[in-house]
């Protein structure tokens, strides 16, 4: 027994006192923080996947995107919280008191506080974006006129890419209005003008027939919920009768479906002799001969 005790004391003496007093506690705090973060992230993932229920309008891919968006946001928030607490504990373990630092940096903290107001506004607005499920990664959105595909969402800002490939970083606090162009389902919404000489019943038959053919096409039927069809006569314009055509599609497919429908409808109109008129203007010109005779008689 005496030999074991002596060997243990000798082993402890090999470590400098400052290592035992400062380094080991810091290493222990870092290791514990990493373990808490790892298990915390796992628990967050399981919790989110359990409470987030799929919508009847959502596909499995869209449901997975929503889950992943929430998981990524809570990952970053949990990591910030854990490392903030760990940093405070490390400072305390090194024997550094935070009170003098806070007192000395009082004015600095006030200045930083004013600057942090905008950041806090962005973060609180980001929390509402997540809770209210306004949009998620993979959606196409219109944020105050900037339209693009959402590539990443953090608590402070949204990153999206427009059709030109330009990446926009939009702070949540600066967003006043959100238009989600890809939530649950989308619509084909077309206004097409036909000539006043057209038989309107014939036009309706052609419009509905082309929509049904498109919805039954093997390459397109998976993207269409209800075929584009005649809805109403929208207006009587100067040169044409304007008709409204409405159809329902899967999310993000409305533009492709509308483009294909326009192409087929134009072809069908040409075959059926239905004219899509250009703007027309009737000009009345005075007869020069009559005007000359009238002047001579006077």
Please report the pLDDT score of residue 63 as a whole number.
67
pLDDT tens readout for residues 48-96: 777 766 666 556 666 677 677 777 777 777 887 888 888 888 887 777 7
Mean pLDDT of the residues in the chain = 79
Those residues with Cβ within 8 angstroms of residue 145's Cβ, 6 or more apart along the chain or in another chain: none
Please report the pLDDT score of residue 296 as a whole number.
44
Residue predicted with more confidence, 4 or 34: 34
Q: What span, in angstroms and rounded, lies between the C-alpha atoms of 141 and 150? A: 7
Q: What span, in angstroms and rounded, lies between the C-alpha atoms of 174 and 186? A: 27
The confidence band for 1, taking pLDDT boundaries of 50, 70 and 90, is very low
| 241-249: strand order across its sheet | 186-194, 241-249, 224-236
Q: Is the pTM of this model over 0.95?
A: no
Residue predicted with more confidence, 115 or 273: 273
Please report the pLDDT score of residue 92 as a whole number.
77
Nearest to 265 by CA among 249, 257, 279: 257
Rounded mean pLDDT of 150-156?
83
> Does the pLDDT at position 159 exceed 70?
yes
Rounded mean pLDDT of 211-227?
92
Please report the pLDDT score of residue 112 as a whole number.
56
Instruction: Return the H-helix or E-strand segment holding 43.
Output: helix 24-51
What percentage of the chain exceeds 90 in pLDDT?
30
Those residues with Cβ within 8 angstroms of residue 127's Cβ, 6 or more apart along the chain or in another chain: 155
Q: What span, in angstroms and rounded, lies between the C-alpha atoms of 119 and 106? A: 20
Please report the pLDDT score of residue 206 as a whole number.
94
pLDDT tens readout for residues 21-58: 677 888 888 898 889 888 888 887 888 777 766 666 55
N-to-C CA span, the chain: 145
In this structure, what token pair is assigned to residue 132? 């209210």
> Does the pLDDT at position 3 exceed 60?
no
Please report the pLDDT score of residue 114 as a whole number.
59
Q: What span, in angstroms and rounded, lies between the C-alpha atoms of 274 and 194? A: 7
In this structure, what token pair is assigned to residue 189? 């919404």
Q: What span, in angstroms and rounded, lies between the C-alpha atoms of 250 and 59? A: 9
Residue predicted with more confidence, 222 or 124: 222
pLDDT tens readout for residues 126-140: 878 877 778 888 889
pLDDT tens readout for residues 176-212: 889 998 888 889 999 999 999 899 999 999 999 999 9
The confidence band for 287, taking pLDDT boundaries of 50, 70 and 90, is low
């Amino acid at each position: 027994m005496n030999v074991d005790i002596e060997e243990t004391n000798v082993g402890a003496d090999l470590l400098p006192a400052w290592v035992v007093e400062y380094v080991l506690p810091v290493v222990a705090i870092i290791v514990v923080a990493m373990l808490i973060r790892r298990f915390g992230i796992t628990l967050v993932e399981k919790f989110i996947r359990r409470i987030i229920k799929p919508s009847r309008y959502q596909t499995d891919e869209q449901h997975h995107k929503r889950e992943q968006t929430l998981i990524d946001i809570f990952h970053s928030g949990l990591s910030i919280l854990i490392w903030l607490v760990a940093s405070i504990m490390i400072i305390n373990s090194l024997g550094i008191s935070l009170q003098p630092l806070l007192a000395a940096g009082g004015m600095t903290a006030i200045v930083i506080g004013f600057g942090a107001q905008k950041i806090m506004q962005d973060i609180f607005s980001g929390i509402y974006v997540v809770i209210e499920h306004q949009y998620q990664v993979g959606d196409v959105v219109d944020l105050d006129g900037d339209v693009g595909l959402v590539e990443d969402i953090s608590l402070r800002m949204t990153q999206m890419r427009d059709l030109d490939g330009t990446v926009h970083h939009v702070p949540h606090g600066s967003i006043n209005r959100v238009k989600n162009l890809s939530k649950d389902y989308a619509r084909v919404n077309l206004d097409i003008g036909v000539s006043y000489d057209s038989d309107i019943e014939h036009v309706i038959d052609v419009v509905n027939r082309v929509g049904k053919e498109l919805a039954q096409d093997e390459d397109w039927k998976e993207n269409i919920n209800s075929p584009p069809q005649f809805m109403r006569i929208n207006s009587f314009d100067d040169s044409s009768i304007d008709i409204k055509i409405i159809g329902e599609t899967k999310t993000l497919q409305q533009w492709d479906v509308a483009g294909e429908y326009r192409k087929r409808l134009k072809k069908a109109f040409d075959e059926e002799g239905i004219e899509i008129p250009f703007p027309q203007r009737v000009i009345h010109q005075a007869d020069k001969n009559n005007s000359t005779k009238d002047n001579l008689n006077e």
